[in-house]
Structure formats: structure tokens, C-alpha cells
């Protein structure tokens, strides 16, 4: 059971492809991370107000447009720095082409304030970055031990794995990332996926058709 000092974890779909955005916050210090602000900036900001949390960083599992669309607006409203893995900078810098591909109005994004690396301390809720390339070269999962929660982005889904047919995708790499890094976590770890329902590491290890343990 979660005790009263367990992190606050709130996940809700945002934006054109209903990407799961997560706010994870420390109930004592009130520090929080916004993960994958893929749209609906006002909704994300109102949740932060409701939860009385202060954003210390805006972090991204990868730089596909549906995970980054509101990053600039959240930064503007909160002043929090933007972080992502350097190997996804070609997608961040290619935001104009992504807007055309996704059929959404052009946006401009600020430069990131820093890059995430493997084992990176996220500075909140004891979060750690796990570099899990494959869906994109810079795909990164976020592991929060006190919350027993993994934010997997588009790497691992309930009964599925991320597509690897986009630029920079690599099937062998995603399988290796899931097997070696994500399946190393305990079976009872809750997985927040990039889209749709969540799952657990145990369920996927035993029943995922694409990658079994």
C-alpha cells in the first residue's frame, strides 16, 4: 500500500494522439516533474495548480511531436527547464517537419536546457532515467522506485512494443532495451505506457507477444 509519503502520480491523455502525460510529485517538498507534455498545456497547468505542485523539470521519454507539443508552453508558464536525451535532438530540431506530418499548426520549441543520460538522477521523487533506445535513438524510460512506477513512453505497451519503422527506429535495439533494462525490474512494477492502458512488468514478461522474458 502506498503510504502518505509516496509520490503523487497522475497520468492523463493529452494532445492529438492522446499521449499519456504524467505528473509525479513529492507530497512533502511539493516538487514535481512533468513527463511528456504532448498537448493541452492548460489542462496540465490546471492539474499542477490543483495538486499544489511546483515543476522542477519537464522531461521527455522521446521527441516525437505527440510527446513534446506543449513543452514550450509549460516552460513559459512555469520556468522549469526542459530535458531530453541528446540522441533525439534530430526530432526536436525537426519539429517543423513533424508538425506537417502530424497535420497540426506549426509551433516553435525552445532549446532544451539539458540532456538526459542513462542513470541520470531526475532530481525528484528519486527518479532515474534508463536509456532504452529502439523506438527512437534517444528513447528513455523513467524509473521511480518509491512509487514502484516505470514511465515507459512508446517503448513498452500493454501487449505490445513501440513501432520501429520511423526514422531512427531499430527493432533489435528495442527488444534488447526491454529485455535487458525494463524486464530487470520487479514483476509488480506498474508501467505507464505512452498511449492507452498501463500494465505491469510481470504481465508483459509473461504474456507480451513481442518480447517475453
* Site residues for Zn ion per CB under 5 A: 64, 66, 154, 194
Q: Which is nearer to Zn ion, 40 or 66 (CB)?
A: 66
**Alpha helices in the chain, H assignment, sequence order:** 41-51, 65-68, 71-78, 89-93, 95-102, 171-177, 201-207
C-alpha count within 13 angstroms, C-beta hemisphere, residue 152: 32
Structure-block grid coordinates of residue 20? 499519456
Q: Which is nearer to Zn ion, 27 or 159 (CB)?
A: 159
Q: How far is the CB of 5 from Zn ion (least distance, A)?
A: 32
Q: How far is the CB of 63 from Zn ion (least distance, A)?
A: 9
Which residue has cell 539539458? 114
Q: Which is nearer to Zn ion, 26 or 66 (CB)?
A: 66
Q: How far is the CB of 1 from Zn ion (least distance, A)?
A: 32
Q: Say if CB 14 and CB 23 are below 8 A apart.
A: no
Q: Which is nearer to Zn ion, 25 or 134 (CB)?
A: 134
Q: How far is the CB of 43 from Zn ion (least distance, A)?
A: 17
DSSP 6: S
Q: How far is the CB of 133 from Zn ion (least distance, A)?
A: 12
Q: Sort strands 54-59 and 127-131 into parallel, antiparallel or unpaired.
A: unpaired
Q: Which is nearer to Zn ion, 20 or 208 (CB)?
A: 20
Residues 149, 127: Cα–Cα separation, whole Å: 10
3-state secondary structure of 139: coil
Q: Which is nearer to Zn ion, 66 or 204 (CB)?
A: 66
Residues 106, 118: Cα–Cα separation, whole Å: 31
CA distances 5 to 73, 93, 121, 193, Å, are 30, 39, 20, 24
Amino acid at each position: 500500500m502506498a503510504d502518505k509519503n509516496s509520490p503523487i502520480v497522475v497520468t492523463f491523455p493529452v494532445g492529438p494522439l492522446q499521449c499519456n502525460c504524467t505528473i509525479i510529485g513529492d507530497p512533502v517538498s511539493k516538487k514535481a516533474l512533468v513527463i511528456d507534455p504532448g498537448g493541452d498545456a492548460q489542462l496540465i497547468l490546471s492539474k499542477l495548480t490543483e495538486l499544489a505542485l511546483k515543476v522542477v523539470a519537464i522531461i521527455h521519454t522521446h521527441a516525437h511531436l505527440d510527446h513534446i507539443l506543449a513543452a514550450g508552453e509549460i516552460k513559459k508558464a512555469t520556468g522549469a527547464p526542459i530535458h531530453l536525451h541528446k540522441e533525439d535532438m534530430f526530432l526536436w530540431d525537426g519539429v517543423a517537419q513533424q508538425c506537417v506530418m502530424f497535420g497540426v499548426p506549426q509551433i516553435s520549441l525552445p532549446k532544451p536546457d539539458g540532456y538526459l543520460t542513462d542513470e541520470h538522477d531526475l532530481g525528484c521523487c528519486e527518479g532515474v532515467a534508463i536509456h532504452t533506445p529502439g523506438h527512437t535513438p534517444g528513447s528513455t524510460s523513467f524509473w521511480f522506485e518509491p512509487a514502484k512506477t516505470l514511465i515507459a513512453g512508446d517503448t513498452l505497451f500493454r501487449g505490445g512494443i513501440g513501432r520501429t519503422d520511423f526514422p531512427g527506429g531499430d527493432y533489435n535495439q528495442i527488444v534488447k532495451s526491454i529485455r535487458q533494462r525494463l524486464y530487470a525490474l520487479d514483476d509488480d512494477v506498474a508501467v505507464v505506457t505512452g498511449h492507452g492502458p498501463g500494465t505491469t512488468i510481470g504481465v508483459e514478461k509473461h504474456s507480451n507477444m513481442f518480447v517475453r522474458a
